[in-house]
Amino acid sequence: MKCEQKDYGVFVTEIQAKSDAEKSNLKAGDCIIQIDGINTNKVEQMGAILKENIKENGFVMLVIERAEASHIGKGALETVNLNNSNEIITEDIQAEDTIASPLAKKSRGKAATYVELEVVESLDEVNLKAKEAGLKYKQVLNLIYYFNCKTSGCGYKWKATITNEILYQIHHTDDGHSHEEVERKDGITKEVKKIIVERLVGNESSNPEAILQACRNKGIRELPTSQQIKNHVSYKKKHLLPHGGNLNFEDIQNLVKDILDDEPDIMDLKYIINEDEPSKTDFAIIFTCKSLLEKQRQQKHAMVDGTFKLIYKGFVVLVFGYSDKNRHVHVTGVAIVSSETTNVFRWLFEFFKSNKYSEGEWMPLEIMADNSRAISAAVAIVFPDATRRNCYSHVIMACKKKWRTLKFTKSESDDIKARIRQLALHSFEEDFDLAATALIDEWRSSQDERYIVFADYFYDQYVRLDKKWFAANGGGCRTDNAIEGVNKWIKAIFISRCVPFMQAVRMIKLYLQKARDTNFGNEEITVTNAEWVAAFEFKRGTLILRDHVRNCYYVRRSQSSLGNTEFLDFLNSRDLIEWTAEDVQNFQENVAVVAPSILFDNEFTCNCSVGARRKLCKHILVIEVITKKRTFPPMAPLRQSLTECGRNKTGRPKKHGPALSRN
């Protein structure tokens, strides 16, 4: 007999005439369930059991399942005695008793052949060169980075491997790009795509019903679904309708006018037309109003962020504003720009610095944004004395991508993240440099090559170049998450999908009206009862030393292991000896640094885990009491409100039970 493996069991496919299987009443289509009481559903397993049991006993007992008549499903179970003669005990099994093996797997095709191309120093350089070659990143396997051509169906590929010298060796397939147009067998046909383009260019209706009817009128039988038409129409609009109509720079320039009232409008237009390469033309269209402009110029800092997802053709929408001491974000301007280049950021900064609607020059002390090189270059040009703050959240996000690339486990990633978070809590730049150097050296001394690669990346990006992401004394907010959230609000509330240019202009004006009229209430920071009680208890057991040279206060932490004398001696040694990384670590574990804010008058910052988020902490509250900004309220009522009987509840506290009453 012959058998075949199927998903749900082993089936008899053929019975040879006059064989023992035929004499035992086996039939084609029988499903073999058991052999001598052993369940089996694999051909290979069944063959081994047959050989072994026949050799030992001379016969086997099969339990089969057989469908009766035309009924499809489980039939009655029938026991069959397959008594075989001794001639098949030998190694040569007769042809009628052979078992059919499973079908061979389909071949995956010929493997790609790679040849050496060049060697580069960093993964960023690999990505840049791949982009220039028309490739996109695909995946990383065993520290080998693979890139495929952006054109579907092209077989050109790259792979980059890490050498022993921590360089990147690029290999590529030697057959080059093959961009011959190949029509897809799925999706929308060429005829339907042509109809969609014709209707879009002719400004005709492009809804699915109209396009399907146009296809029927032309005799097209294979019709796409409504969702396929919607997707293709949306895709084509981005390429065929760059501005939602005929619009040029002269039209936009005519929209710029003197603002006589306080209504948001286009207030400035800057552009540089590249006649040789028009696609590289830079422009910036700036929206604001007089009151928003004045509010921004009263601040000592600014925040900026951009999004690509609001306007057809991928033009960038920049949002400009500031954060108050209660961490409310105030949007003061929006700009539509060609792309995130140094030119457009310079134009935006120059407008807020000096314009015909305001007197004098505005010179902020800090500019907060993501780690964009274009923003850093523009800040250095327009505000050379301002501190360029880098976003801490963007540092963590970039590191997470690197961890995934290097295949770090979750526990390894969490450990590195905790070390970076500790590094971010330093108050002084010299302390940050010492701690960062020690951490980088520790990672580089690892036997694991992944840590060495990450150490080089982290040092180049966030220690040598962009290191203003730590909790520096007196600095402002440490992330631009709030201003990024504003872009989300614009998309969710005012612009639900990519829109043409003039429609985006109208929506942006509506948003700025909302920003102008929003009232955030009292800007003073309020203190809760729990914060007052915690600060009062902390003040009774801590020790505070003022540093007049660095203009800050050193506050002994609650978990400090230093006594009074040790605490004072340790701090006095800061200017007497050259501190090491170990001294800096000891300082971080035992001392909280409270310093006056450089952005808000009569406010303080702290480098503890709460204060580093620019929130009010017990260390700041104690210093505000010492400097006479605040005074402790009566503690007894506050404690009563926090007891187990009346925690945070108004009215008379709950009575104690009889177990606590005196006789």
SS3 call for 83 = strand
Q: Is the domain of 328 the same as that of 261?
A: yes
In whole angstroms, what is the distance from residue 132 CA to residue 581 CA?
Answer: 43
In whole angstroms, what is the distance from residue 408 CA to residue 387 CA?
Answer: 34
Residue 341 lies in a domain: yes
Could you give the number of structural domains in the chain? Answer: 6
Q: Which two tokens stand for residue 8?
A: 């749900």
Amino acid at 366: E
| Size of the chain in residues | 663
Residue 522 lies in a domain: no
Mean local confidence (pLDDT), 562-569: 92
Q: How far is CA 508 from CA 57, 250, 308, 515, in A?
A: 88, 20, 14, 10
In whole angstroms, what is the distance from residue 113 CA to residue 157 CA?
Answer: 10
The CATH number of whichever domain residue 13 belongs to comes to 2.30.42.10
Backbone conformation region of residue 654, classed left if phi is above 0, alpha if psi is from -120 to 50, else beta: beta
Residue 359 lies in a domain: yes
Residue 283 lies in a domain: yes
Q: What is the mean pLDDT of the chain?
A: 81
In whole angstroms, what is the distance from residue 9 CA to residue 62 CA?
Answer: 14
Q: Is the domain of 155 the same as that of 221?
A: no
In whole angstroms, what is the distance from residue 100 CA to residue 3 CA?
Answer: 6
Mean local confidence (pLDDT), 635-654: 66
Q: Is the domain of 254 the same as that of 328?
A: yes
Least confident of 163-177, 338-352, 353-367: 163-177
Q: Is 87 exposed, middle or buried (0-12, 13-18, 19+ CB in 10 A)?
A: exposed
Nearest to 155 by CA among 130, 123, 131, 177: 177
Domain extent for 85: 2-97
pLDDT, position 97: 46
Q: Is the domain of 412 the same as that of 304?
A: no
Start-to-end CA span in the chain (Å): 97
Q: Which residue has the tokens 């579907």?
A: 152
The tens digit of pLDDT for each residue in 331-359 reads 999 998 888 889 999 999 999 999 888 88
Q: Is the domain of 39 the same as that of 159?
A: no
SS3 call for 605 = strand
The tens digit of pLDDT for each residue in 100-141 reads 555 566 555 567 788 888 999 888 889 989 988 889 988 888
Residue 499 has what DSSP assignment?
B
* Strand 387-390 to 366-369 pairing: parallel
Residue 659 lies in a domain: no
Q: Is the domain of 266 the same as that of 349?
A: yes
pLDDT, position 535: 94
Q: How confident is the model at residue 152 (pLDDT cuts 50, 70, 90)?
A: confident
Q: Is the domain of 18 the same as that of 158?
A: no
Q: Is the domain of 456 the same as that of 488?
A: no
Residue 423 lies in a domain: yes
pTM of the model: 0.59
Query: What are the residue ranges of helices labelled H in 256-391?
Result: 290-297, 342-353, 373-382
Q: How confident is the model at residue 31 (pLDDT cuts 50, 70, 90)?
A: confident
Query: Of the residues 181, 212, 240, which one is the last residue of a structural domain?
Result: 240
Q: How confident is the model at residue 204 (pLDDT cuts 50, 70, 90)?
A: confident
In whole angstroms, what is the distance from residue 384 CA to residue 345 CA?
Answer: 14
pLDDT, position 67: 66
Q: Is the domain of 309 the same as that of 381?
A: yes
In whole angstroms, what is the distance from residue 140 CA to residue 148 CA?
Answer: 12
Q: Is the domain of 323 the same as that of 366?
A: yes
Residue 658 lies in a domain: no
Residue 107 lies in a domain: no
pLDDT, position 556: 95
The tens digit of pLDDT for each residue in 236-258 reads 776 654 444 445 555 565 655 54
Give the CA angle between residues 351, 353, 357 to the nearest 5°. 65
CB atoms under 10 Å from CB of 113, counted, come to 9
Q: How confident is the model at residue 412 (pLDDT cuts 50, 70, 90)?
A: very high
Q: Is the domain of 374 the same as that of 270?
A: yes
Q: Is the domain of 562 the same as that of 455?
A: no
Q: Which two tokens stand for residue 284?
A: 């910036």
